[in-house]
Amino acid sequence: MWSDLPQPAGKVTTPLKDKRIDSGAVCSWISSRTNMVARLQTFSFIMKTVQRKVSLQADETTLTEVQFGPMKLLKDPLQVLLVFAKEDSQSNGFCWACEKANFRCSMARTPESALECFLEKHHDLVIIDHRHSRHFDAEALCRSIRAVNSAENTVIVAVVKRPDREEASVMPLINAGFNRRYVENANMMACYNELLQLEHGEVRAQFKLRAGNAIFTALEQSQEAIEITSEDQVIQYVNPAYESIMGYQQGELIGKEIIEVPKSEKNKPDLLETINSCIRKGKEWQGIYYAKKKNGDSIQQNVKITPVIGQGGKIRHYVSINRPLNDNNKSDKSSERVQAESQTDIQSSKHKDRRKGSLDVRSTTSRGSDGSSQRRHSSMARIHSMTIEAPITKVINIINAAQESSPMPVAEALDRVLEILRTTELYSPQLGTKDEDPHTNDLVGGLMTDGLRRLSGNEYIFSTKQPHHLPSHLTTPLSLNDIPPRIAQTMENEDSWDFDIFNLEAATMKRPLTYLGLKIFSRFGVCEFLNCPEATLRSWLQVIEANYHSSNSYHNSSHAADVLHATAYFLCKERVKQSLDPIDEVAALIAATVHDVDHPGRTNSFLCNAGSELAILYNDTAVLESHHAALAFQITTRDDKCNIFKNIERNEYRTLRQAIIDMVLATEMTKHFEHVNKFVNSINKPLAAVEENGGNGDEESVKSILTSPENRILVKRMLIKCADISNPCRPLELCIEWAGRISEEYFAQTDEEKRQGLPVVMPVFDRNTCSIPKSQISFIDYFITDMFDAWDAFADLPNLMQHLDNNFKYWKGLDERKLHSLRPPPE
């Protein structure tokens, strides 16, 4: 009977245990014991099931493609084995569900036929009736299936009775090898839903695990030495190439700690400490390293160590890829120089934030010197025959030519340079994983992307508000001199960086832009430059301010006034004045005033996901910034009463318009790093080189750098970008207020996304769980620090950098106390 089936030695405690039985013995046992009547009953039942007409049309649920890391796996329709001793409503329910889901279904009535069928087809999913022990022992059947070698990745489900009283433990089922249980429910849709959940859950996970065999096969065949260690740096795997190169057998290394393996004395004393310091922070390390073979010889290797994030968002493994350098006879001095350069790179980033590590270069595939040289020569001949060359093509040609006569380490380094240059995102650093820093990832996702694909059926349409007339409720000052004394007093120190915009907001009843604009535009002589009356400027400021949404907690006219104030402050800096012409200054002030006009209080990603009218109009590209610029000119030119451009010459207007549009578009965050890097490379570094050289022609060289048309554009972009996100550089109380306002706006967006069923762009900005200090730390680390370092080097802003340092320490202090709020609780 069933009890004399071949059983595996020992109790199976997990479905992944590799228990083997003699399949030949099993098959001969089956052939001698198979019940022919049961077979005929099974065949008859399957035929009836196939012939049954189902009124509902089958859903297209067959999974044909599964993503497993970078691998794309093609998957056949699911193979399901149902083991039920008798036909009943439950077995019929699962048969119907398999047919509806387009799964390939087999039915077995006895343990013998079940095992025989499984050995033939190796099903992905087995469902065993565990309700009636008098028919067969379901747990014994599960153990026997698990004992088959191919069952390692099969999902097995037990159908159990609905409990009468107390819920029973599932441990006996798990010990027998079941993955999960299904409490009997013959409802067809319940069975169908269970199959879908199994397919997209346990079955898919097991399918990916099965694909892992291909990955290990690749590791075994690789000619590069590969070593995998645990988070505690215990060796877990080395491939045959590692054994061949280092002279060790796998068994001599597995389970040993890295520190137990002999080290070469040729490495610099602090190199290992430097490597460990780098990789423990989640950064990849690459450089030259001497390893000690089993026979005591040292071998020089190009090593890349990559931390792998696993459970809990923590580093769980380190993967080391080691490639021996071809010429081991080169002088130690040369290799030490390269090694020192690797150390210098690491040391230079030691005090920077974690994200700097993501900028490490990626290595290319290994290459032999002869074949690569020949390949490069052939490629170069084709490239040089091209008649049209883009600048990047010229750069690649120069690097390719340099590789021809370079030693191997330099040639390989240049290969990595070429790999970076051929990517499309030259200016955007790579982030760590979502689990490493969810705040930074969400900020980048929300601010630097155009959203996910729009979801059909979940469209949320924004109607663009475009008032045509001046609102009648606004109090119109007759002139700058007629500003009420209380408001005038509030603006007395508007030329100071510590100017409190919130005092002005309160004094003007949330309309600070008109009053501050009148004073700043007067100070810079904007009316004289534009040849427009002050009344026209006043009307223009009022209608622009009226098109800001006072209901927004952050993107309102107070933010516009704050950016205008920062812009005016930067324009007074000596270096900026040397670089820009009067028309640039006027363009900057106007751009700051209009840069967020009619902002809906939602990000570009939200608008794209919601399928808003604006996103459709601007093709999901720089949606809000394009709208701000376009609407500003529509409002301005629609009515002569507020058309500040009416009296300037056509060519001057075109120049001014282009500059304003360029600056407003520069506030879009997708090109943040491009703008910053271009500013550093085109302005900061050349100026620093001139200052270092000293000697003749300094003034002319500086003037040439500052006033070239291309660099003036870069200065204006950097100026308005810094003004737009300067909140972390304001005095602490102002910084805290702005942080609270932007957080509230992001909270409101998350609430809206959940209500509308849209993708949540920034999940960390959930008002119930968000840590505002963490979000500010991430924002400063990722966007602010480098940009203001570059701007300070140009414009000399020590007070701003001191505020930035103080504010960062403030947020860090709150975070270290595990506080999520803007301020610490009262003592």
pLDDT 10s digits, 766-780: 999 999 999 999 999
Q: Please report the pLDDT score of residue 271 as a whole number.
A: 83
**pLDDT higher than threshold 60 for residue 57:** no
**Higher local confidence (pLDDT), 794 or 483:** 794
Q: What is the mean pLDDT of the chain?
A: 80
Report the distance separating Cα 577 and Cα 579, nearest Å.
5
Report field, pTM of the whole predicted structure over 0.85: no
Percentage of the residues of the chain whose pLDDT score is greater than 90: 50
Among 133, 159, 132, 154, smallest CA distance to 143 is for: 154
Report the distance separating Cα 477 and Cα 484, nearest Å.
8
Residue 496 is assigned to a ligand binding site: no
Q: Please report the pLDDT score of residue 678 as a whole number.
A: 92
**pLDDT higher than threshold 70 for residue 644:** yes
pLDDT-derived band at 427, boundaries 50, 70, 90 = low
**pLDDT higher than threshold 90 for residue 205:** no
**Higher local confidence (pLDDT), 68 or 816:** 816
Q: Please report the pLDDT score of residue 724 as a whole number.
A: 98
Q: Please report the pLDDT score of residue 541 as a whole number.
A: 97
pLDDT-derived band at 6, boundaries 50, 70, 90 = very low
**Higher local confidence (pLDDT), 612 or 387:** 612
**Region at 87 (left for phi over 0; alpha for psi -120 to 50; beta for the rest):** beta
**Region at 102 (left for phi over 0; alpha for psi -120 to 50; beta for the rest):** left
Among 568, 565, 580, smallest CA distance to 525 is for: 568
Report the distance separating Cα 313 and Cα 323, nearest Å.
29
Per-residue pLDDT of 297-340, as tens digits, reads: 888 888 999 998 877 778 888 999 988 875 443 444 444 444 44
Q: Please report the pLDDT score of residue 803 as a whole number.
A: 97
Mean pLDDT across 783-798: 95
Residue 22 is assigned to a ligand binding site: no
Q: Which amino acid is at 803?
A: H
Residue 558 is assigned to a ligand binding site: yes
Which region among 39-53, 299-313, 374-388, 576-590 has the lowest average model confidence (pLDDT)? 374-388
Q: Please report the pLDDT score of residue 578 as a whole number.
A: 96
Q: Please report the pLDDT score of residue 433 as a whole number.
A: 52
Q: Please report the pLDDT score of residue 538 as a whole number.
A: 95
Which region among 86-90, 149-153, 537-541, 794-798 has the lowest average model confidence (pLDDT)? 149-153
**Higher local confidence (pLDDT), 473 or 444:** 444
**pLDDT higher than threshold 90 for residue 645:** yes
Residue 724 is assigned to a ligand binding site: yes
Q: Please report the pLDDT score of residue 729 as a whole number.
A: 98
Among 657, 609, 670, smallest CA distance to 629 is for: 657
Residue 556 is assigned to a ligand binding site: yes
Q: Please report the pLDDT score of residue 10 as a whole number.
A: 37
Residue 495 is assigned to a ligand binding site: no
pLDDT-derived band at 755, boundaries 50, 70, 90 = very high
Residue 28 is assigned to a ligand binding site: no
**pLDDT higher than threshold 60 for residue 384:** no
Which region among 46-60, 68-82, 628-642, 672-686 has the lowest average model confidence (pLDDT)? 46-60
Exactly one of 123, 130, 555, 627 is catalytic; name it.
555
Assess whether 672 carries a catalytic annotation: no
Q: Which amino acid is at 121?
A: K
Q: What is the dihedral of CA 159, 161, 162, 163, to 10 degrees?
A: -130
